Every structure is written in structure tokens, then in C-alpha cells.
Amino acid sequence: MVLRSLIVLSLILCGMTDLAADWQEYEARYAIYRNGKLAAKAEFSLQRLTQGQWVMKTESSGTHGLARLLRLKDTESVEGQLDDGRFRPRLFTHHTRVAGIDNIWQASFDWLNRSVVVMQGDEETKMPLAEDALDGLSLKLEMQRRLREDEDNLTFYLLDEDEISEQKFRLLQPEQLETSLGCLETLPVERVRENSSRYTRAWHAPELEYITVRMEHGKKGGDHMEMRITSLTLGDKSVKPGIGCVSRQTSP
């Protein structure tokens, strides 16, 4: 359960720039905690390949406790381009390694014929791209776009290894959040789960191009996983820490 929670958290991470406006290369680093104790780290990057072509990469690895003992490592990457204001993935790859055992799968998107082919080992599965289904990373890019455009629709369709599932989110009240980058105004988003004790929440910072600065995932009465941003570089500029929330509230 601990390993699955770490992997799920790494899949949901989403520190992206605003693709619909001005694409910027970036690097973001996060610390991942399990029940308040440091367990892993995560790194994100968005890079330009050629004109109009971009690649996003994530890497999470265990640094403490059981995650470190089992040498947990989870990497993802997606290549794609902007199409009418939306990111369209071309090739998505997910590689998980636990205790020396690898699990790798890839998804190739064909938007012209609206189909996707998933490869895992020698097994191949072809599915229709109904409802513009996306991989986990591309889905987060689309979340960024909808938040920026203030769209009401926060329903998405997620491509997994062997299925496409619907995911619904709701926007919560704006919140000031204390982070390593200072006090930030954020837009919290929560996944809607009916009759479930599980929860997933993410805090997006509009002043930092809607990147995710905190993430929570867990089960009531069970493990609580939390991701917190530790550093951010947008373009060629490192984001310097600002003042804290207490100082902001007491400043004239």
C-alpha cells in the first residue's frame, strides 16, 4: 500500500506552465511525505524539442524508509504538440522499478484516426480516443489550461494501462498557502469520488503560471501522502522565496 501510494502520487503530480499562452521551459522539485515523514523526492521538467514540439518528464525516487529500501523509482515522459490551444500527446512512456523489478508500458496516440495503442511487453491493446482521453501527464496539462481559461468543465478521461476511466474534479475556494516559495494565492482542486474514503487534492498557484505547489492523496483513517514544492525555475530564472503568510497579513 505504501509503494502504491507513492506511485499514485507521482502520477498525479502536475507542475506545468501555461501552454495556451506562453510556453516556457521549466524545472520543479518536490518533497514527498508519508504521514508527515519524508519518503521520496520528485523532479519535473518541460523542454522544447523543436518548434511546436515539447517533452515533459517526471522522475520520483524513494529517499527514506521502505521506499528507499526497495529502491522505488517511477519515471514518466510524454512528447506532443499544441493543437488549437490544447496539448496533444504523441508518445507516452511509464516506467516503474521496485526492488529491481520493472514495469514498462507505452501509449502511442493517433489523433487523425482517433485511436491509441498501448504496448506492455508483447501485449498490444488498441482503443478509440473517445472523449479526448489523455495520459496522466497530458491530462494535467489540460487541467492547467482549463483553470487558466476559467472553464466550468473539470471532467477528464484518463488512459491507463488497459482502460479509459472518467475522472471528475471540483474547484474549491481560493486559499493562501505557505510554501517554500513563500505565501501563495492558490486554487485548490479536489477529485470527486462517490462513496469513497479516498481523497486527492492539488493546490495550483496562478501567479506561478498555475503550477501545482502542493498535492495530497490518501485514505481517511489510512496513509496520507503529501507533495510539497521545494524549488522552481521558469525559463532561465529561479523563483526566489517570497514573504510568508503571517508577514503578508501583518504588513501595512
Mean pLDDT of 177-189: 96
124-136 pLDDT, tens per residue? 999 999 888 999 9
pLDDT score recorded for residue 8: 47
- Domain hosting residue 32, numbered range: 2-238
149-160 pLDDT, tens per residue? 999 899 999 998
Q: Give the SS3 label for residue 170.
A: strand
Question: Phi-psi bin for 37: left (phi > 0), alpha (psi -120 to 50), beta?
Answer: beta
Asked if residue 97 is part of any domain, the answer here is yes
Helix axis angle, 2-12 relative to 136-148, nearest 10°?
50
- Write b or e for each residue in 91-130: b if 16 or more Cβ atoms lie within 10 A of its Cβ, otherwise e: ebbbebbbeeeeeebebbbeeeeeebebeeeeeeeeeebe
Asked if residue 208 is part of any domain, the answer here is yes
Asked if residue 245 is part of any domain, the answer here is no
Asked if residue 250 is part of any domain, the answer here is no
Mean pLDDT of 29-45: 94
Total of domains in the chain? 1
Instruction: Reply yes or no on whether the pLDDT at 5 is more than 60.
Output: no
pLDDT score recorded for residue 205: 93
pLDDT score recorded for residue 17: 38
The more confident residue out of 23 and 112 is 112
Residue 193: name the closest of 223, 218, 176 by CA: 218
pLDDT score recorded for residue 83: 80
Asked if residue 72 is part of any domain, the answer here is yes
pLDDT grade, residue 161 (50/70/90)?
Answer: confident
CATH number, domain of 216, equals 2.40.360
Question: Phi-psi bin for 182: left (phi > 0), alpha (psi -120 to 50), beta?
Answer: left
pLDDT score recorded for residue 212: 92
Distances (CA, A) of 93 to 103, 122, 148: 11, 15, 27
Return the amino acid letter for 56: M
Say how far apart CA 127 and CA 131 lie, in whole Å. Answer: 12
Asked if residue 243 is part of any domain, the answer here is no
The more confident residue out of 26 and 113 is 113
Q: 94 forms bridges with which residues in the sheet?
A: 76, 105
Mean pLDDT in the chain?
A: 87
Q: Give the SS3 label for residue 210.
A: coil
Backbone angles phi, psi at 221, to 5 degrees: 85, 0
Say how far apart CA 226 and CA 200 lie, in whole Å. Answer: 10
188-220 pLDDT, tens per residue? 999 999 889 999 999 999 998 888 999 999 999
Nearby residues of 171 by Cβ (< 8 Å), 6 or more positions away: 147, 154, 187, 188, 189
Mean pLDDT of 151-177: 94
Asked if residue 247 is part of any domain, the answer here is no
Looking at the chain, the whole-number percentage of residues with pLDDT higher than 70 is: 89
83-106 pLDDT, tens per residue? 877 889 999 999 999 888 999 999
pLDDT score recorded for residue 15: 37
